[in-house]
Amino acid sequence: MSGNSSPSITLRPFRLTDAPDMMLWAGDDQVTRTLRWKTLTSIEEALTFIEEVCIPHPWRRSICIDDRSIGFVSIFQGSGEDGRKVDIGYAIAAKYWGQGIATKAVKIALPRVFDDLPHVVRLQAFVYVDNLASQRVLEKIGFMKEGLLRKYAYIKGNVRDLLVYKVVSLHFVKDSSAKKSQAGEYFIPNNKTTTLSASFGSTPMFLHHHNLAKMSGNSSPSITLRPFRLTDAPDMMLWAGDDQVTRTLRWKTLTSIEEALTFIEEVCIPHPWRRSICIDDRSIGFMSIFQGSGEDGRKAEIGYAIAAKYWGQGIATKAVKIALPRVFDDLPDVARLQAFVYVDNLASQRVLEKIGFMKEGLLRKYAYIKGNIRDLLVYSILSTDAVPGTS
């Protein structure tokens, strides 16, 4: 923008009449290279996209100068208990890069998002590692970089590392203007938030692990993993019926063998990858893997729990070590296995690090669990990483 004047930037809902202007950015490979959707090739495609995607979208706005569409800002809210966090993404036409326009558009959007979605406490953005301009803009606005998520997203044929940023309330949004805007958009890894599902049978479990230290004595139990059986119900009650064990799980503590039978029959047995952790073939806990769907199938989440009487004996550590090679063999498309851990669960953090997981960052106000909004640490191990102590 020449001179000292700055353009008048507004946000509004999309209209069908935006189709010709939309082609200036949605039809440009430079702009769409980090988007899930392909570059549009005609005004007809733009019309269809506006009608079928932009207008019905719960929170997608056209970034405008003089009421002419030059880009978009979108908010993707999670469902159920995950509705307290949302993802933000945007793109603007290449001719407007480097003028601070995207920065100003995001600043305009933020208070509206928190007003329109009052339950939201966390707004997050995912950025390519090599997109330094986006990183600077987010930081100037007040987003905090939480960490590097390795091999986090499969985008147009490539598994990409992404940086995760977040802002948790409006007082973090700064008033300073960016001198340079970004050359593209803040990448959104999905068109919905999928990291933590609210469904009973498919929810990733947070690693529940207390005081895992050295095995007492020189002997160690024989630990195995196998599919669940209905006959596991009585043993299952020793851990799934214990509030100490289930406090970090989405599902409630089981109260009877009948509930355990139903849970095994309806959840454990049909699950694509859920195993019973056993000693002498008796169930003492579980291990679950939750693989993403579609392009997110390259990453999966791991969770487990064991009975309290077995805490502090290294059993969970050994069970995870047993599981890892099987997971990568059984799920060959998975490049990234991730785990989410409570900040105060130091034992789980140490165990993951001993196994070879890398701590990537602290995700503030990331999950709503049994009435509380919790900060979580995110860890990952890649299919190419070595697992210490495995044979």
Q: Which of these, 316, 337, 310, lies nearest to 326 by C-alpha position?
A: 337
pTM above 0.85, yes or no: no
pLDDT for the residue 389: 61
CA–CA gap between residue 204 and residue 295 (Å, rounded): 18
C-alpha distance from residue 375 to each of 37, 59, 120, 350, 366 (Å): 32, 26, 14, 18, 6
* Phi, psi values for residue 306, rounded to 5°: -135, 160
CA–CA gap between residue 364 and residue 122 (Å, rounded): 8
Give SS3 for 204.
coil
Tokens of 130: 């090599």
Beta strand 85-92 with 122-128 is parallel
pLDDT for the residue 199: 27
Beta strand 336-342 with 372-382 is antiparallel
Query: In whole angstroms, what separates CA 259 from the centre of its chain?
Result: 30
pLDDT for the residue 173: 52
Beta bridge partners of 73: 61, 90
Q: Cβ(84)–Cβ(166) under 8 Å?
A: no
pLDDT in tens, the chain (391 residues): 445 566 799 999 999 999 999 999 999 999 998 788 899 999 999 999 999 999 999 999 999 999 999 999 999 998 887 888 999 999 999 999 989 999 999 999 999 999 999 889 999 999 999 988 888 889 989 999 999 999 998 888 888 999 999 987 654 455 433 333 333 333 333 333 222 222 223 344 444 443 333 333 445 678 999 999 999 999 999 999 999 888 878 788 999 999 999 999 999 999 999 999 999 999 999 999 999 988 889 999 999 889 999 988 899 999 999 999 999 999 999 999 999 999 988 878 888 998 999 999 999 999 888 878 889 999 999 999 987 765 4
CA–CA gap between residue 147 and residue 351 (Å, rounded): 20
Beta strand 372-382 with 358-369 is antiparallel
Beta strand 336-342 with 299-306 is parallel
Domains detected in the chain? 9-172 (3.40.630.30), 223-382 (3.40.630.30)
